[in-house]
Structure 1
Amino acid sequence: MVGRRAIIFHGTGGNPDVCWYRWLAERLEARGYAVEVPHYPGINVEPIATFLPEVLNGHSFDEDTVLVGHSGGAALLLALLERVDATVAQAVLVAGYCTRPNAKEEPVLQPDYDWAAIRSHVRDIYFINSRQDPYGCDDRQGRAMFERLGGTQIVRDDGHFGDYDQPYERFELLDRLIP
């Protein structure tokens, strides 16, 4: 028995040391989680079809796994949940999106999703988005995923929940959502 595990995926152009990722990892470790905060520079750079196998092979997933993704890392979770060979305990998509949120290319997105497969691979799913997100990863994107997958949608007014010009050292809401 491995026990509770959490994997926190950073966003496009990010790394494990920006915003709240390490803070959340420490909070979860204090509660007994084994936490991974991998660095994937290829998130939203490499096409998802070639990038996803690296992620699937780089981690193990089971009924005690919690997945957290921010921005491009949240979009990555959709493809991951579609193809993972387990049902994970929880997924939290922060500033996530399922369609192009702006005019930029989004290699992390698939042309379409098997929403039923995604739903069958996660017991509890949350979508946390802002009304005003500078990249378009807003509450409408969260709503589009919520309408297809159910779960819980949380709408805030907190920008992108951390970015190069938006310090976001702590994320108390996330800490409370993960048991």
Structure 2
Amino acid sequence: MVGRKAIIFHGTGGNPDVVWYRWLAGRLEARGYAVEVPYLPGLNVEPIATFLPTVLAGHHVDENTVLVGHSGGAAFLLAFLEHVEVTVAQAILVAGYCTQPNTSDEPVLQESYDWAAIRSHVRDIVFINSREDPYGCDDRQGRAMFERLGGTQIVRDDGHFGDYDQPYERFELLDRLIP
């Protein structure tokens, strides 16, 4: 595939240099992908209505783009996919959620989603959640998105797939899921 591209969105309070983000970027670059791992300090801090247009304007996506989001970055992908104007190749939401997962403020969430628009803007969508996610970004959240969007749901018992207290330097499953 010519011009393959991937964008990896970190989670709330994260940055491109934690957990498996750089490792996955390196694996994809070795296979010919152009990879972006943007630093988005406003993610899940700034309201989605003002944050989303800035991020959309800063990234070009097309039919050869793969989007990966972790935690707040995965929740962000729902709004991103709803509002892009093309159909991307693949989106993988790791520890994602579409409703309030815990008692924390979640400005990354929209009040409602146009699920048909999201579905029409991605050819292959995958949800990876853990039954034992400490923040509530669990398999029930994955199931709620899967029931609205289809795709593939993968359920593991693996915490938050990386966090300040859960080193997760490699994520072999992600590497295998992205062609």
Calculate the TM-score normalised by the size of structure 1.
0.99
Partner residue, 1:89: 89
Query: Does residue 13 of structure 1 match 2:28?
Result: no
Kindly indicate whether residue 148 of structure 2 is the aligned counterpart of residue 152 of structure 1.
no
Q: Match for residue 135 of structure 2? A: 135
Aligned to 2:155, what secondary structure does the other structure show? Answer: strand
Aligned residue for 1:54?
54
Q: Which residue identity does 1:50 align to in structure 2?
A: T
In the alignment, structure 1 residue 168 sits paired with structure 2 residue 171:
no
Q: Say if 2:106 is the partner of 1:71.
A: no
List per-residue Cα deviations over 1:7-40 (Å, max 9, x = no partner): 0000000000000000000000000000000000
CA displacement, residues 149-171 of structure 1 (integer Å, 9 cap, x when unaligned) = 00000000010000000000000
Tell me, yes or no, if structure 1 residue 26 matches structure 2 residue 26.
Answer: yes
Give, in whole Å, the separation in 2 of the partners of 1:72 and 1:89: 21
Equivalent residue of 1:56, what SS? helix
SS in 2 for 1:55: helix
Alignment-derived partner of residue 38 in structure 1: 38
Residues of 2 paired with 1:54 and 1:89: CA distance? 22
Query: How many residue pairs end up in the alignment?
Result: 179
SS in 2 for 1:102: coil
Return the offset for 1:139.
0.1
Query: CA offsets per residue over residues 53-83 of structure 1, 9 Å max, x none?
Result: 0110000010000000000000000000000
Aligned partner of 1:36: which letter? E
TM-score (norm 2): 0.99
SS, match of residue 92 in structure 1:
strand
Structure 1: state its 5+ residue gaps. none
Calculate the aligned-residue CA RMSD, in Å: 0.9
- C-alpha displacement of 1:2: 6.6
Q: Map Cα deviations across residues 85-106 of structure 1 (whole Å, 9 max, x no partner).
A: 1100000000000000001110
Consecutive aligned runs of 4 or more in structure 1 exceeding 4 Å deviation: none
Aligned equivalent of 2:116: 116
For 2:54 and 2:173, how far apart are their aligned partners in 1? Answer: 30
Label 1:40 to 1:116 Cα distance change in 2 as closer, same or farther (>3 A): same
Quick one: which amino acid aligns to residue 83 of structure 1? H
| Distance (whole Å) between structure 1 residues aligned to residue 10 and residue 51 of structure 2 | 15
